[in-house]
């Protein structure tokens, strides 16, 4: 029986935003794929960053660029429908034997749309390859020239919105080691207030739009007077709370 070649789904990490922070390997894979999907959000610019990053690093002549709209929602039925639709679109190309790339801001292994999509595509029997990249955790820590772990500290990456909503964020922040809070979404303002309340400002670094032209970093007393524009941009905000000196 003639086995038709299936295409490979490359989940390609683009790094935090600056095109120069893509890896040599990611650029090479993207040069090779003629069809490149990238996630964006209806009505907002935030998730088009992967596409912008791409444009700064890869020759896009003769490429087919396909934006995939993901709603920023927690409604599981809407999410599942969106992912199902995106997966079907990808599978059309893969079934025709075409390799495709799906972009992911930061690193694809950490809270990424592309990673979730890759699991669906893989479950349908198609080959999936993850191309790693600079995570927003690494990028934010480096922007502040911070050692996340020192010699022997643990580092906890916490989904801010989920932990705040569940009421477990405060206890997690009080535990030993460095904490990195991502995905603050609706609760960015509440989380900043909690950090101030817990007297953690002096150990807190907040990085917004890391590696991009409008990157901003805040620490210490600056947390007390953040501009209002700050709170409308939770998607691209990483909060690092360093370990206590004595740890």
Binder of a second copy out of 21, 68, 103, 173 (CB under 8 A): 21
Binder of a second copy out of 159, 190, 194, 233 (CB under 8 A): 159
Q: Do the beta carbons of residue 135 and residue 47 sit within 8 Å?
A: no
- Quote the CA–CA distance of 22 and 132 in Å, as a whole number: 9
The reply to whether 207 sits near a second copy by the rule CB under 8 A is no
For the bound state, the minimum distance from the C-beta of residue 205 to a second copy, rounded and expressed in Å, comes to 11
The reply to whether 15 sits near a second copy by the rule CB under 8 A is yes
* Burial of residue 245, with CB atoms counted within 10 A of its CB: 0-12 exposed, 13-18 middle, 19 or more buried: exposed
Q: Which is nearer to a second copy, 56 or 224 (CB)?
A: 56
The reply to whether 219 sits near a second copy by the rule CB under 8 A is no
Size of the site for a second copy (CB under 8 A): 58
- Quote the CA–CA distance of 218 and 84 in Å, as a whole number: 39
Binder of a second copy out of 54, 120, 133, 223 (CB under 8 A): 133
Binder of a second copy out of 2, 61, 152, 245 (CB under 8 A): 152
- Quote the CA–CA distance of 238 and 232 in Å, as a whole number: 14
The reply to whether 20 sits near a second copy by the rule CB under 8 A is yes
The reply to whether 89 sits near a second copy by the rule CB under 8 A is no
CA-CA-CA-CA torsion sign (89, 95, 96, 97): positive
Element (H, E) at 170: helix 169-174
Contacts (Cβ under 8 Å, ≥6 apart) of 158: 169, 172, 179, 180, 181, 182
Q: Annotate each residue in 42-81 with x if it binds a second copy (CB under 8 A) or - if it does not, as one string.
A: ---------------x------------------------
The reply to whether 146 sits near a second copy by the rule CB under 8 A is yes
The pairing of beta strand 216-219 with beta strand 204-208 = antiparallel
The reply to whether 118 sits near a second copy by the rule CB under 8 A is yes
The reply to whether 156 sits near a second copy by the rule CB under 8 A is yes
The reply to whether 220 sits near a second copy by the rule CB under 8 A is no
Q: Do the beta carbons of residue 32 and residue 1 sit within 8 Å?
A: no
For the bound state, the minimum distance from the C-beta of residue 217 to a second copy, rounded and expressed in Å, comes to 13
- Quote the CA–CA distance of 182 and 189 in Å, as a whole number: 13
The reply to whether 107 sits near a second copy by the rule CB under 8 A is yes
């Amino acid at each position: 029986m003639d086995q038709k070649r299936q295409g490979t789904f490359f989940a390609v990490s683009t790094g935090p935003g600056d095109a120069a922070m893509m890896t040599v390997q990611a650029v090479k894979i993207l040069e090779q794929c003629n069809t490149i999907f990238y996630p964006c959000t209806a009505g907002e610019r935030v998730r088009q960053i992967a596409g912008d990053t791409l444009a700064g690093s890869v020759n896009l002549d003769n490429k087919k660029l396909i934006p995939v709209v993901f709603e920023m929602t927690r409604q599981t039925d809407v999410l599942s429908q969106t992912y199902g639709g995106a997966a079907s679109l990808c599978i059309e190309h893969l079934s025709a034997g075409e390799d495709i790339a799906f972009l992911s801001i930061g690193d694809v292994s950490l809270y990424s749309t592309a990673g979730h999509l890759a699991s669906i595509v893989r479950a349908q029997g198609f080959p999936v390859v993850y191309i790693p990249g600079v995570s927003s955790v690494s990028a934010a820590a480096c922007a502040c020239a911070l050692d996340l772990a020192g010699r022997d500290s643990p580092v906890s990456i916490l989904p801010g919105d989920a932990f705040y909503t569940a009421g477990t964020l405060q206890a997690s922040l009080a535990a030993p080691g460095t904490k990195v809070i991502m995905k603050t979404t609706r609760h960015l303002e509440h989380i900043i207030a909690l950090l101030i309340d817990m007297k953690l400002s002096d150990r807190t670094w907040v990085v917004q739009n890391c590696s991009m032209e409008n990157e901003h970093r805040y620490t210490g007393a600056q947390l007390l007077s953040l501009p209002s524009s700050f709170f409308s941009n939770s998607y691209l905000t990483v909060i690092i709370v360093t370990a206590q000196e004595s740890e």
